[in-house]
Homo-oligomer: A and B are copies of this chain.
Amino acid sequence: MSTTATLTKQFMSSEQLLEHWQGHRNLTRRVIEAFPEKDLFEFSIGGMRPFAKLAAELISIAGPALKGIVNKNMGAYTEDGFNPQTKEDILKKWDEETEVINHYFSQITEERFQETFNLFGQYEFPVYQNILYFVDNEVHHRGQGYTYLRALGIEPPFFWERF
């Protein structure tokens, strides 16, 4: 049997995507925790950003982006509002954003996931692709964080533990 539309076969529901993403965020939180305070802000390989900077990027994307999608606000991306000085600053903000993500994500309708939106006035893609990008970008940077931890002689959390 052939299909005439691209949306006839559902891969996953929005609730399943949110649970999947928050599972990843739990793991990323444990990677942040695994860094010694000093190395979190200073350790780097090959000129890349320290993991604190990568975490600040992730924090500056997820909640603000979802809020922008829901409110159809195309304001530019910025990390200016968040300048953490300690690991505790990062973890506290991380947990606050968990609730922001849940709040805004649940307001996105099925139709909206398929609509194009110019995120941050710069990334014009269907909403579902923008959201996949947030998750992928987190997994990507966390993979770099795993490498930093290994280089520091620290065993990272198991990749498959998401609770």
Binding site for B on A (CB under 8 A): 6-17, 20, 24, 45-48, 109-110, 113, 128-129, 132-133, 136-137, 139-144, 146-153, 159-160
Given contacts A46-B147, A140-B142, A143-B144, 17 further A-B contacts (CB under 8 A): A6-B13, A7-B13, A8-B13, A9-B14, A10-B110, A11-B13, A11-B17, A12-B113, A24-B136, A46-B150, A46-B151, A136-B139, A137-B159, A140-B146, A142-B143, A143-B143, A144-B147
Which B residues touch A10, using CB under 8 A?
A: 7, 10, 12-14, 110, 113
Prevailing SS type, chain A contact patch:
helix
A126 smallest CB distance to B (angstroms):
8
Please tell me how many copies of the chain the complex holds.
2
CB <8 Å contact, B11 and A12? yes
Q: How far is the CA of A132 from the CA of B13 in the complex (A)?
A: 13
* Cβ contacts under 8 Å, A15 to chain B: 6, 9
| Closest B residue to A18 using CB positions | B11
* Min C-beta distance of A3 to chain B, whole Å: 8
In the assembled complex, 20 residue pairs joining A and B whose CB atoms fall closer than 8 Å, in A order, are A7-B10, A9-B109, A10-B10, A10-B14, A10-B110, A11-B12, A11-B128, A12-B128, A16-B128, A20-B132, A45-B147, A46-B147, A46-B151, A133-B160, A136-B139, A137-B159, A140-B140, A142-B143, A143-B144, A147-B147
